[in-house]
Structure 1
Amino acid sequence: MKYLALATGLFAATTAVAETPVLTIYTYDSFVSEWGPGPAVEKAFEAECACDLQFVGAGDGAALLGRLKLEGDRTEADIVLGLDTTLTAAATATGLFAPVELTAAYDLPMAWEDTHFVPYDWGYFAFVKKADQAGPANFKELADSDLKIVIQDPRSSTPGLGLLMWVKAAYGDEAPAIWAGLADNIVTVTKGWSEAYGLFLEGEADMVLSYTTSPAYHLIAEEDASKAAAAFDEGHYMQIEVAGKIAGTDQPELADKFLAFMVSDAFQSLIPTTNWMYPAVMPKDGLPKGFETLIQPVKSLLVPADMADAVREQAMTEWLSALSQ
């Protein structure tokens, strides 16, 4: 009887595990790092979903769409989290994303009207430097300086892609000349954000492409005020990060539940001090102390999502041409 009871218990446990629904979310590596939002989000959502939430790191943000295109209908993803408005039109055009019916009290610098993607955070791209170091006031001053910078590859990284869009939005037809001037300032081009920021912290460059919010990490998490973002007078390019549901998911209700959770206070309150961005929905307790010290761009730059594909292709060609000289 003892063995029968043990066997019965093992069968019941195995059945329970087998029946636990799994929600698979593709995202970028830093999101699922031990210091990113992923671990806390997973714990909080699993506490209310009776499911197994599995994050899959897929490189940097821009690499997500490339992986999804390769996998097509065979993808194991139920949700993709980490695209931005530079990529949403291209992502929608794949036919792999389902429309989403969800409303929220977004605290974004623009009205949100996309029917396939849900925003979860936003911020501005910037070059981060030492706080006591004089920074350039714009890209032309940067190109004329001896400052060494680290940037990310726009083919794999959303910050890298954001930089291309930033230069193009600010300078239009002058963009190729800007890149020609910047070419000798670039120490290296990394695949993703983490590698680039690490090189900056190791002293391999004077500045790194990141966000206006990045100094908040050092100030709040490390009590270190030695980093600052350089304020550019031509404006800063905005990034709005989003998540979308895969049309072929076998967990549609669970995916919808996660997207709704994503704009809840439980998720949004984690964003400022784990992803170090502005939350898409303002948490009930507001922003943490320290965010008020961040620079505020004099001008917000953003190419509309429906124009992003064409601008991206031209900007990519100009960037590749300049760096190949």
Structure 2
Amino acid sequence: MRHLFLATGLLAATQAVAQDSPVLTIYTYDSFVSDWGPGPQIKEAFEETCACTLQFVGAGDGAALLARLRLEGARTQADIVLGLDTNLTAAARDTGLFAPHGVQADFDLPVAWQDDMFLPFDWGYFAFVAGAEVEAPTDFRALGESGTSIVIQDPRSSTPGLGLLMWVKAAYGDQAGEIWEGMADNIVTVTPGWSEAYGLFLEGEADMVLSYTTSPAYHLIAEDDASKRAIPFSEGHYMQVEVAAKLAGTDHPDLADQFLQFMLTDAFQSVIPTTNWMYPAVTPEGGLPDGFDTLITPGKALLLDPEQARALRDDAIAEWQAALTR
């Protein structure tokens, strides 16, 4: 009986500690929290420093995060959102749901960063990825004139999908609709998010998939497979800068601030290249892993500022939909 009382007491104490431990809830995209994504390692590393429980909640792809937050409004359980990008930050700011971060940092980004609300954690360039055997076109017009099949993501739910629309818009302006009309027949399918699209590509359902210039590094480093390549486009490549921000209504503002500071440390940033397969916002102490030096460097970097991206978004989606429904 003494052992029973002791065990019962230990259980009660453990439950009490668990109840007293704050839970920091972070909404992010599905691939971030997958077994092979950065989420598990980051959760373990942060929990060693915070006396808390870090809870990641996958919410589809990046653009779906903003839609969910708009739906939940001030009732959201999220303390932090991680996975929006600069194509969405202006619209996210307008919700009034976010608070300034107050973080000062020196970022290793190709662009100057001055945003008091959204904090970058990684970046990259969108690109079409193909197998070595594919004779891939190297610009959007040539793609539309070719028989090359592609898989892309839905711009209404996916940040890569929206990034592709901004890429075409930044490169072609008022001619973007014409470019989409040319590419409509090349599109095998449009998926809700990046994971589904890349999976179809790996299964051989299309010649190319919309992804990143860094995607071949995964195959090279994780699989010792050099057969995948990002195709350099003569128009240049559109940049993506992924960000995190804390919710103004968080129940744990100090803990949220602690995570945002942690996000820029080596413990977080060193995980990004070989789990999220992007460039870190702050270069890790050991530099980038071997294999990243084999990646293409775009001859021209394209990026619309957040206000431009918001202003163009609805028209760009309408052009895309019109071309695909003809």
Give the shorter-chain TM-score range.
Answer: over 0.9
For residues 112-155 of structure 1, what are the alpha-carbon distances to aligned partners after superposition, in whole Å with 9 as ceiling and x for unaligned? Answer: 10110110000000000012322211000000000000000001
For residues 281-304 of structure 1, what are the alpha-carbon distances to aligned partners after superposition, in whole Å with 9 as ceiling and x for unaligned? Answer: 001111001111111101000111
Structure 1 residue 4 displacement after superposition: 4.4
Instruction: Select between 207-216 and 2-11 the one with higher mean Cα deviation.
Output: 2-11
Structure 1 residue 103 displacement after superposition: 1.3
Q: Distance in 1 between matches of 2:128 and 2:10?
A: 58
Runs of 4+ in 1 over 6 A off after TM superposition: none
Structure 2 letter corresponding to 1:183: A
Mapped contact 2:64–2:156 kept (Cα < 8 A): yes
Instruction: Select between 132-141 and 199-208 the one with higher mean Cα deviation.
Output: 132-141
Q: Which residue of 2 aligns with 1:15?
A: 16
Structure 2 letter corresponding to 1:17: A
Q: Which residue of 1 aligns with 2:311?
A: 310
* Correspondence list, 1:170-319, <5 A: 170-319=171-320
- TM-score, scaled relative to structure 1: 0.98
Q: Distance in 2 between matches of 1:23 and 1:132?
A: 46
Q: Distance in 2 between matches of 1:136 and 1:103?
A: 42
Mapped contact 2:127–2:237 kept (Cα < 8 A): yes
Identity of aligned residues (%): 68
Structure 2 letter corresponding to 1:181: G
Structure 1 residue 49 displacement after superposition: 0.8
Q: Which residue of 1 aligns with 2:125?
A: 124
**How many residues in Structure 1 have an aligned counterpart in Structure 2?**
325
RMSD of aligned C-alpha atoms? Answer: 0.9
Q: Distance in 1 between matches of 2:192 and 2:7?
A: 51
- TM-score, scaled relative to structure 2: 0.98
Matched position secondary structure for 1:70: helix
Matched position secondary structure for 2:221: helix
Gaps of 5+ in 2: none
Q: Distance in 2 between matches of 1:214 and 1:129?
A: 10
Gaps of 5+ in 1: none
Structure 1 letter corresponding to 2:95: T
Structure 1 residue 7 displacement after superposition: 3.7
Q: Distance in 2 between matches of 1:14 and 1:248?
A: 27
Structure 1 letter corresponding to 2:299: V
* Correspondence list, 1:84-163, <5 A: 84-163=85-164
Structure 1 residue 162 displacement after superposition: 0.3
For residues 234-274 of structure 1, what are the alpha-carbon distances to aligned partners after superposition, in whole Å with 9 as ceiling and x for unaligned? Answer: 00000000000000000001000000010101100000000
Structure 1 letter corresponding to 2:65: L
Matched position secondary structure for 1:66: helix
